[in-house]
Structure 1
């Protein structure tokens, strides 16, 4: 055990006793030990939460309702390895190699799924593709050399391969693993396995309340998800929610009732994703209107100052990250056939992990085009090269010779952009209005509602 691990272990023991008294002391100690300005904004937010005993402080306290071993693994793997130690190695690699280096790697263990949800881009891959255990292990080992300690499973349904998912947690106890899952395969046995390995966190897909959710995901799915959340909460395991907002469910998933339901069910975080019209069978009518997208954005930001749940808005939070996070800048995606894609939603690539190293993929033409083009728009409410700046995606695909990675029904970049061009045109006036009104506004940056 290293001196750092010993220090973390002692710090965790220190605050287990009297949280209200010891958490402020530990934060003061961190301010003394960490370099000046290092994660300053985040540390400032934590200090404010402690001083004001606000909703964020209540969320911190909820972490202490978790299983102690799972909580300790989360602090060590996510907060230290992935976010602190990892960021130093990533920076060194980035400067040495001249390419983006991801904080997180998304990968698909399988393209198979036990559901077939309306408008799901993952369904376009088919159900016969898998990354072997050995390949995933190699990806993780290469990633750790570059400072990446956070791995997120997508799919398909990752829990179709429960045994391998757990085995990888055992093989890499210094990493934190998260999985987007429909939740229907989480049972008592799997909860016990999560308690045993300690470094696996599910993000369960939920599209709103029962009628809306099952209308997209299938009859009975909502009740199966409710049962999964009950089991996880009962076993004191961390989990979150993943929800895709569309023109049909935007009001449901952004309502106060839905936020309260997630919190009461035990969720610690929620990840909101804008519907993407990817694939030849996509349903463009599910794209939210500009007014609907604005409603979702404003409600999420409002609840950040009142609700004890950590919320992320993938499409509308680019300003907090300085632009679009794909292309290896913060993450990349590897599909079940091994194609290395700059974005989980954009299915074009010019390299495969079976033929190149992770570093070679990051220095490939398409990834370097992403790096050179970021940010894709000075207005951070226009972050994506597909949804809001389709001309940028079209140019990158054409210039780099990238090809479609949808092997069931390949979609040309022209066909995809023909669906997103009208969306971008419609969104631009609203996005410009909101950005010009609030860019740099203190209230917005603090997550408060727009006036």
Structure 2
């Protein structure tokens, strides 16, 4: 399989280079013709469905085409993204992952979330990583070897967090050793200097997702005075160099209406953000504030609002806790991804700070055999209603069962608070209220589908 994959990747890379060179003179006019050709090579049903939805959106919306033209200003990055992510990760790697899963008796996830360092130049209030001990970092050698191990299993997509990824000095040196992989980093953006932006433009396979809490008032209140202006400057640097980047937001009961307002979304698009990751506030860390969690009615509003924005704005938006229908439930526990902390602990999720293995003491294959991951995979989906996919905020009793069943240990002092006392009782009440609301949303969806079917049948 290795030789065949190598030949296939080389052929695909040549095809991608030719396609991008064809697009560059007039991407708006030529994109539809190119998509017609690409469509013949998208075979897997899930990929086919998403591709067709993407093609319909590109073909029918001038704003999307204008946004695409802006993204296509850096041909090096477009070629790397298309080759590494679309070809290596989505088209060729699934068969490699299935073969590795059969050979090792494990489930191979789609990507890894890796925190190379706990170092950070900010001290944001309520940070999900705030409970981890400051100081640990993966050695550059272990980080590099981990990427090699992952690629041997068919994983070519790596998401980086921290700490602050750009505070990890060897970060881009290690990334450059893996030109066949795609990287994305959740970053506060304040360390993206002109020199870093120049290097990202040359590398072409690394996309920053810059964190914001809203406008200047909300961002600086959580992250520190002056941070918002530094973030805007970083976005300008990346856009000017044609680096594809996005934004990341933590949605709370206080800022949900701001983050998903027309004005804020349009601001991100104007700045050049190609995508938006939406994370609901989860009460982890030593100073968790339960009042920041979304109430059921706010979360229901967000479901409808994100769907509206997807129809009307040229930006990819992922709302992990409300998008379970796209993934058929929770993506954690080694199903689609696993989380590796700066200390090397292999957790099922960035918000579930429990582990049975440490990557400094074992191989990636051994870590993926974690009994905690097995407990996850046996139970997914945690709710039949995919509006409630999460074992932390939608089925907290399941998380308590899995930790106890697997003998997983907390990865930092205070992690146990998620499973007991006031925090656990609050999550039980909140999840029950949400599941009731989610049932109503699902019924509304079924009725809407029925009406659309009747209208279609009538025509």
Map of 1:325 onto structure 2: 331
1:16-55 map, 5 Å: 16-35=24-43, 37=45, 39-53=47-61, 55=63
Report the TM-score, using the length of structure 1 for normalisation: 0.93
2:411 to 378, 386, 405: 405
Match of residue 245 from structure 1: 251
Quote the residue 1:449 is aligned against. Answer: none
- Could you report, residue by residue, the CA deviation over 1:189-209 in whole angstroms, capped at 9, with x for unpaired residues? 111111222211110000101
Render the CA deviation track for 1:240-274: whole Å, top value 9, x for unaligned.
00000001111110101110010111111110000
- The 3-state SS of whatever aligns with 2:208 is strand
Q: For residue 439 of structure 1, report the CA deviation from its aligned partner.
A: 4.7
Task: Give matches, 1:412-431, under 5 Å.
Answer: 413-415=419-421, 417-431=424-438
Using a 3 Å threshold, how does the CA distance of structure 1 residues 71 and 337 change in structure 2: closer, same or farther?
same
Stretch deviating more after TM superposition (318-327 or 39-48): 39-48
Residues 55 and 305 in structure 1, CA contact (< 8 A), matched pair in contact too: no
Match of 2:16 in 1: 8
Q: CA RMSD in A?
A: 2.1
Counterpart of 1:448 in structure 2 is: none
| 1:177 counterpart SS class | strand
- Quick check: 2:285–2:414 contact (8 Å CA) kept in 1? no
Quickly say closer, same or farther: Cα 1:408–1:96, change in 2 above 3 A.
Answer: same
Match of 2:229 among 216, 223, 231: 223
d(CA) in 2 for partners of 1:290 and 1:254?
Answer: 17
Query: For 1:293-315, what per-residue CA distance to the aligned partner results, in whole angstroms no more than 9, with x for missing partners?
Result: 12222211101011111111011
- 1:383-422 superposed Cα distances (whole Å, 9 cap, x missing partner): 0111110111010000110011114776463245334212
Q: Is 1:89 the equivalent of 2:96? A: yes
* Aligned partners of 1:129 and 1:336 also within 8 Å: yes
Query: Which of 106, 111, 115 in structure 2 is aligned with 1:104?
Result: 111
Deviations 1:36-86 (A, max 9, x none): 74621122113312432354444433322x311111111111111122112
Call closer, same or farther: CA 1:93–1:10 in 2, change over 3 Å.
same
Alignment deviations for residues 315-335 of structure 1 (CA, whole Å, 9 cap, x no partner): 100101111111111111000
Alignment counterpart, residue 179 of structure 2, candidates 157, 173, 188: 173
Distance in structure 2 (CA, Å) of the matches to 1:228 and 1:95: 44
Question: How many angstroms apart in 1 are the aligned matches of 2:43 and 2:62?
Answer: 27
Task: Select the residue among 84, 99, 102 that pairs with 1:77.
Answer: 84
User: Residues 323-366 of structure 1: CA distance to partner in whole angstroms, max 9, x if unpaired?
Assistant: 11111111110001000001011101111111221111111211
Question: Secondary structure of 2:291's partner?
Answer: helix
Aligned partners of 1:225, 1:247: CA distance in 2, in Å? 23
Q: Using a 3 Å threshold, how does the CA distance of structure 1 residues 442 and 189 change in structure 2: closer, same or farther?
A: farther
Distance in 2 (alpha carbons) for counterparts of 1:99 and 1:32: 32
Distance 1:439 1:361 in 2: 41
The total of aligned residue pairs comes to 443
Q: Structure 1 residue 113: deviation in Å?
A: 1.3
User: Structure 1 residues 56, 409: CA separation in 2 closer, same or farther (over 3 Å shift)?
Assistant: same
1: CA distance, partners of 2:82 / 2:42: 16
* 2:318 alignment counterpart: 312
**Partners of 1:188 and 1:338 in 2: how far apart?**
31
- Change in 2 beyond 3 A, CA 1:170/1:71: same
Show structure 1 runs of 5+ residues with no match: 446-451
Alignment match, 2:455: none
**1:263·1:309 contact (CA, 8 Å) conserved in 2?**
yes
8 Å Cα contact 1:397-1:413 kept in structure 2? no
1: CA distance, partners of 2:145 / 2:172: 16
Counterpart Cα distance in 1 of 2:414 and 2:393 = 23
Which residue number in structure 1 is paired with residue 68 of structure 2? 60
